[in-house]
């Protein structure tokens, strides 16, 4: 990639820059930024305090996220110029580091990450030879990684990741040839990705991000026009972008960004070949930037950023070939004083039996939470955003949240707030020949063959096209599902085709006409008509079927039926409608 010399690095610098990122034997630079924020009136505001040094091999270009009062850092380059998949936790309360289970994918750098509820997510990135598309979920409770659905966008690294509520977002990035400005949303409940409205600014990589309320912010980075300084706000409720006040200092990328007390913070980073130590605060209410106390460590970039409570932490990383293990705590200024907490939440309150829900905590100024979910499993939680709260039985249920901090607590009690719909009626599958019938009356149906969706098979009956196992998922008017299955279905019948037989008219009035059956006169023919639940409603057996035969169906009620002919150990079948 080539940048104009008046706006960014020269082509020769970029070549060096690219080699630095992707080839082990060359100079490496970058920093790991770990950022916890916990704003308190008891500490000196707008200040830094050095904390426990990182105990692993110094890392550059890692990913990071935070869950409750623990920050997590993983992957990156180490100071021996090797890619790593190591994973570490910083405990804010004990000011200590602990090694955790290695990242589930291959070793890499420039990985994108975010946290949703009490789970962390990380993926994509690269290792020089490969750009990855995999994405992984980390569960602190069992200290394990599980692979999730691959990122749905184009292959990339240097993308920006953030979470709003119970959704994750990945924006921008590059594949060394093309840069991106598209935005993708991840839903952990459905384990699926959908594309959202693209960033309004130019395509970029090395951008930073922070979240305030229901809005995400993408700032600066690098593009084909050089380093950037623009700020964009993403409204997750309207799926729209708006440009905000530009960052007022030197354009840059690979910078640190985090949010605390409804303010965004941005600083350090690179404006190649320079590195920075400055820190700036953004106020979304006034759309104004204010410079804060500089980071006291060495200048650095390519940071890992996250927030916990109201304190910020920055550490590790590198500039050029200098790798660091220091770790620093930032306390915002006195304008960020924690008042009384306010309890609030958002939760799906109309659900089906057996549904497990995610509860989004919308409380303010709280540091601890006590949840109560009578009738659910589990029925209590102290997590910030409880997940996998399961309601097995129909009924109405209360929800209670007590949000607390050092100054007091606030209780929110919602009586009969969650309604669990009645269970849908049980389903079954009956078989007639190779036609499978579910019980009619559900709002919708979907058939599966050997565990795979049968496209277009959405009626209450299905003619098996091949032998194997079949199941059907039936959905009622509330959107609740019930399933039935049948195994070892033998599909040995042939559909009626024009050269074999002709059945008309369709729809049928009083008689069904059967023509063109190519059999010997003495061949026995058995004719049956089945209703939608597989019951035989008409049956005729004759040893001598004429070239044209009529079948009286005037007694049948209007609706859908299936006619079946058994000839020479073969079965022919076709649907018709009775008027």
Helix extents (H) in 386-479: none
pLDDT at 536: 83
**Does residue 495 surpass a pLDDT of 50?**
no
Q: Over the stretch 241-287, which tens digit does the pLDDT of each residue have?
A: 999 999 999 999 999 999 988 899 999 999 888 999 999 999 999 99
Question: How big is the chain, counted in residues?
Answer: 579
Average pLDDT (141-148) is 96
Average pLDDT, the chain: 85
Highest mean pLDDT among 148-157, 263-272, 430-439: 148-157
Query: Does the pTM exceed 0.75?
Result: no
**Between residues 459 and 466, the one the model is more confident about:** 459
> According to the CATH classification, is domain 345-420 in 2.130.10.10?
no
Q: Where are the domains of the chain?
A: 11-331, 345-420, 429-489, 494-578
Report the run of H or E that residue 536 belongs to, with start and end: strand 536-542
At residue 470 the predicted structure's pLDDT band, cuts being 50, 70 and 90, is very high
Instruction: Give CA–CA dist 2/98, Å, rounded.
Output: 41
**C-alpha to C-alpha distances, 62 to 110, 340, 565, nearest whole angstrom:** 6, 36, 68
pLDDT at 539: 84
> Could you tell me where the beta strands, DSSP code E, fall in 439-480?
444-449, 452-453, 461-463, 468-475
**Does residue 329 surpass a pLDDT of 70?**
yes
pLDDT at 17: 37
> According to the CATH classification, is domain 11-331 in 3.30.2420.10?
no
pLDDT at 366: 84
Q: Which of 35-49, 109-123, 350-364, 406-420 has the lowest mean pLDDT?
A: 35-49
**What phi and psi, each to the nearest 5 degrees, are found at residue 337?**
-105, 130
Q: Which residue has the tokens 């060394």?
A: 176
What residues pair up with 279 in beta bridges, in sequence order? Answer: 267, 292
Q: Which residue has the tokens 């009490």?
A: 118
Instruction: Give CA–CA dist 344/457, Å, rounded.
Output: 44
Topology agreement, domain 345-420 and domain 429-489: yes
**Does residue 174 surpass a pLDDT of 90?**
yes
pLDDT at 493: 44
**Does residue 576 surpass a pLDDT of 50?**
yes
* Distance linking the first and last C-alpha atoms of the chain: 70
pLDDT at 574: 76
Q: Which residue has the tokens 């924020």?
A: 37
Instruction: Give CA–CA dist 200/217, Å, rounded.
Output: 12
Within 8 A by CB and 6+ apart from 142, the residues are: none
For residue 245, with 0-12 CB atoms within 10 Å meaning exposed, 13-18 middle and 19 or more buried, which class applies? middle
Q: Which of 24-28, 107-111, 556-560, 567-571 has the lowest mean pLDDT?
A: 24-28
Instruction: Give CA–CA dist 408/394, Å, rounded.
Output: 36
DSSP 8-state class, residue 337: -
Which CATH code fits 494-578? Answer: 2.60.40.3080
**Which fold would CATH assign to domain 429-489?**
Immunoglobulin-like (2.60.40)
**Does residue 468 surpass a pLDDT of 90?**
no
**Between residues 207 and 506, the one the model is more confident about:** 207
pLDDT at 37: 33
Are 97 and 55 contacting, i.e. CB atoms less than 8 angstroms apart?
Answer: yes
Tokens of residue 492, six digits: 């040995």
Range 406-409 contact pairs with CB under 8 angstroms and sequence separation of 24 or more: 406/338, 406/367, 407/338, 407/339, 407/340, 407/341, 407/365, 408/340, 408/341, 409/341
Q: Over the stretch 523-561, which tens digit does the pLDDT of each residue have?
A: 667 888 888 666 788 888 776 666 677 888 889 988 878
């Amino acid at each position: 990639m080539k940048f104009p010399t008046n706006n960014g690095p020269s082509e020769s610098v970029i070549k060096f820059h690219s080699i630095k990122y992707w080839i082990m034997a060359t100079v490496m630079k970058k920093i790991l930024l770990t950022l916890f924020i916990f704003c308190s009136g008891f500490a000196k505001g707008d200040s830094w305090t050095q904390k426990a040094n990182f105990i692993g091999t110094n890392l550059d270009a890692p990913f990071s996220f935070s869950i409750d009062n623990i920050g997590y850092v993983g992957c990156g380059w180490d100071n021996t110029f090797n890619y790593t998949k190591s994973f570490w936790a910083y405990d804010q309360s004990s000011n200590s580091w602990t090694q955790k289970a290695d990242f589930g994918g291959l070793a890499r750098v420039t990985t994108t990450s975010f946290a949703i509820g009490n789970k962390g997510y990380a993926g994509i990135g690269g290792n020089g030879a490969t750009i990855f598309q995999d994405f992984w979920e980390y569960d602190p409770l069992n200290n394990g990684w599980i692979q999730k659905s691959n990122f749905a966008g184009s292959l990339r690294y240097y993308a920006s990741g953030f979470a709003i509520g119970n959704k994750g977002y990945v924006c921008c990035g590059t594949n060394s040839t093309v840069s991106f400005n598209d935005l993708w949303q991840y839903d952990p409940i459905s384990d699926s990705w959908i594309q959202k409205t693209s960033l309004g600014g130019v395509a970029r990589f090395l951008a930073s991000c922070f979240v305030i309320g229901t809005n995400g912010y993408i700032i600066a980075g690098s593009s084909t026009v050089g380093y950037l300084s623009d700020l964009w706000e993403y409204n997750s409720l309207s799926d729209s972008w708006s440009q905000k006040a530009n960052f007022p200092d030197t354009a840059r990328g690979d910078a640190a960004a985090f949010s605390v007390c409804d303010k965004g913070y941005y600083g350090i980073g690179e404006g190649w070949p320079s590195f920075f130590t400055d820190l700036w605060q953004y106020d979304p209410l006034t759309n104004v930037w204010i410079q804060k106390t500089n980071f006291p460590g060495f200048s650095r970039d390519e940071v890992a950023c996250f927030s916990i409570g109201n304190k910020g932490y920055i550490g590790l990383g590198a500039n050029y070939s200098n790798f660091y293990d220091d770790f620093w705590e930032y306390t915002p200024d006195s304008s960020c004083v924690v008042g009384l907490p306010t309890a609030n939440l958002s939760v799906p309150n109309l659900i089906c039996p057996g549904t497990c829900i995610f509860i989004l905590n919308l409380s303010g100024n709280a540091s601890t939470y006590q949840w109560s979910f009578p009738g659910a499993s589990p029925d209590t939680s102290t997590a910030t955003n409880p997940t996998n709260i399961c309601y097995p039985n129909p009924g109405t249920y209360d929800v209670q949240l007590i949000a607390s901090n050092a100054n007091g607590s606030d209780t929110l009690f919602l009586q009969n707030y969650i309604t669990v719909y009645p269970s849908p009626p049980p389903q079954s599958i009956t078989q007639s020949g190779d036609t499978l019938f579910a019980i009619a009356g559900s709002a919708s149906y979907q058939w599966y063959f050997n565990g795979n969706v049968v496209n277009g098979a959405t009626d209450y009956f299905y003619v098996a096209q091949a032998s194997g196992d079949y199941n059907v998922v039936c959905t009622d008017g509330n959107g609740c599902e019930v399933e039935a299955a049948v195994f070892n279905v033998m599909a040995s019948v042939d559909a009626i085709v024009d050269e074999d037989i002709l059945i008309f008219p369709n729809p049928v009035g009083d008689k069904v006409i059967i023509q063109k059956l190519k059999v010997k006169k003495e061949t026995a023919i058995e004719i049956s008509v089945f209703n939608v639940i597989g019951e035989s409603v008409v049956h005729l057996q004759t040893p001598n079927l004429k070239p044209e035969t009529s079948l009286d169906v005037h007694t049948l009620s209007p609706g859908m039926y299936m006619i079946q002919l058994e000839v020479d150990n073969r079965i022919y079948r076709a649907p018709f409608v009775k008027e």
